[in-house]
Each structure stands twice: as C-alpha cells, then as structure tokens.
Amino acid sequence: ELKVEQNPLFLSMQEGKNYTIYCNYSTTSDRLYWYRQDPGKSLESLFVLLSNGAVKQEGRLMASLDTKARLSTLHITAAVHDLSATYFCAVDRRSLDSNYQLIWGAGTKLIIKP
Amino acid sequence: ETGVTQTPRHLVMGMTNKKSLKCEQHLGHNAMYWYKQSAKKPLELMFVYNFKEQTENNSVPSRFSPECPNSSHLFLHLHTLQPEDSALYLCASSQLYPRGGYEQYFGPGTRLTVT
C-alpha cells in the first residue's frame, strides 16, 4: 500500500528564516505534487515533479525529488508571512484498472511570524 | 467561468434533508474527483470518474451518491446525512491521458454543515 508521510506536521517560524518540509513515500511512483491550501480555501497546485533529480523553484519556494530515496523536499528561503498556509504533497498511484489517483500526505501547517 | 467551479459554496442541512453539490470543470479534462476534507484529517478521496465512468468508490457510505452526466459536470447527491459528514467537499479534475501529467485542479469547495 502506498503511504505518504510529511514532516513536520506543524511548523512555526520567524520571517527571514529558511526551512525544509519533507515528504516520504513508501513505494515507487512516477510523479510527485506539492499543493498549498490557505485557511478555508481550496488547494492550489505549486509544483509537479516528474523525474528523479527534478528541481523546481517559484519565488521563495523550491521543490526537489529523489525517487531513489523516495523523498521530496519543499525548501522555504527567507520566509515571509504570505507563505503561511498548509502544504500538501501527493504521489501518483496507478490502480489495477489503470486509473491514476493521488495519495496525499497529511499536510504541514506552516505559520510564519513577523 | 474558468477552472473548476462548485456550487453552493456553503450549505447547512438537516439530517433528513436531500441536497446536491454541483461541480463543473472548464478545462477539457477527462477525469473528475470528489474529496472530503475534515478538520485535522487527511484529504479523503471519495469518488473518481474517468471518461464519465465511476472507477473508484473508496468505501463511501450510500448516503453519498455521485453522478457524472458528462465529462464536464459532477454531482454529489446527499441524503440522510450525519453530523460527522460536516466537512469541506472538494471537487477536482485532471487530464489522465493521452498527454498525462495527472495534476489535479481543485474547485473552491463546498462547506457543508449537517445539523
């Protein structure tokens, strides 16, 4: 069974600091996704990582994928308050009928204090 | 309209009511999904429709009944719900193939409260 674990689940940090969120998954998968969710809002796609060694950056966020280690990281550089949100990673699972699903991590709630 | 839309955005219903949630995607995708998001719980996949055919039903109680009349529209019919069904219900769509990618695009959600 494919499982996706994120850590930490909760992170409170100061503005200007750097930090990393980790996403581990239990079996081989082709793709990994990072999403952001603001309180009371829907999920917004941040990054799609399609291969081993993939690295993508958008502003102060950078995501990477190591398929051999079954690990993805979301790195936050010089955090600002606007990045406060819950971040989810998700991994593809191909079911027996060839229908793809996303298996989701529990989410990391990030609070950035001024 | 662009992206994925959901109506209503908020719904309060009694346990004996019948209501429906509506989702529409304007992205030309061929797969649609219903998710349930409860406080302090992981995102739960409820139903998957691929080319209008239901392909997954993750042990969802029969008081939730999905309907997908075409590849752009998805409904979730609700009846005799329980208070523990109160949650944010999210609809999503994706393009499974031939191009792949499989990134899911989410609607704004319906906040459901069962009284």
Look at residue B51 in the predicted model and tell me its pLDDT. Answer: 73
Summarize pLDDT for A47-92 with one digit per residue, the tens.
999 888 889 999 999 999 998 999 999 999 999 999 999 999 998 8
| Position B19 pLDDT exceeds 90 | yes
How far is it, in rounded angstroms, from Cα B73 to Cα A3? 30
Number of cross-chain residue pairs from A and B with Cβ atoms under 8 Å apart: 47
Residue-averaged pLDDT of chain A: 90
Residue-averaged pLDDT of chain B: 89
Least confident range of A26-40, B15-29, B97-111:
B97-111
Look at residue B72 in the predicted model and tell me its pLDDT. Answer: 94
Which residues, 6+ apart, have CB-to-CB distance to A14 below 8 Å?
A79, A112, A113
Look at residue A84 in the predicted model and tell me its pLDDT. Answer: 96
Summarize pLDDT for B76-109 with one digit per residue, the tens.
999 999 999 999 999 999 987 655 557 899 999 9
Summarize pLDDT for B30-40 with one digit per residue, the tens.
889 999 999 87
The encoded tokens of residue A109 equal: 């709630």
Look at residue B97 in the predicted model and tell me its pLDDT. Answer: 63
Q: How far is A42 from chain B (nearest CA, A)?
A: 5
How far is it, in rounded angstroms, from Cα B94 to Cα B98? 12
- Residue in the structure block whose two tokens are 């593809």: A92
| Position A97 pLDDT exceeds 60 | no
Which residues, 6+ apart, have CB-to-CB distance to A29 below 8 Å?
A2, A67, A70, A91, A92, A93
Interface of B with A (CB under 8 A): 31, 42-43, 45, 48, 50, 55-56, 90, 92, 94, 96, 101-109, 111
Look at residue B42 in the predicted model and tell me its pLDDT. Answer: 80
Chain A positions in Cβ-Cβ contact with residue B103 (cut-off 8 Å): 33, 45, 48
A87-96, B37-46, B70-79, range with greatest mean pLDDT:
B70-79
Mean pLDDT calculated for residue range A17-22 = 96
The model's confidence at residue A20, banded by pLDDT at 50, 70 and 90, is very high
Look at residue B101 in the predicted model and tell me its pLDDT. Answer: 52
- A11 contacts A107 by C-beta, under 8 angstroms: no
How far is it, in rounded angstroms, from Cα A13 to Cα A79? 8
φ and ψ of A88, to 5 deg? -115, 140
- B45 contacts B58 by C-beta, under 8 angstroms: yes
Chain B positions in Cβ-Cβ contact with residue A42 (cut-off 8 Å): 90, 106-109
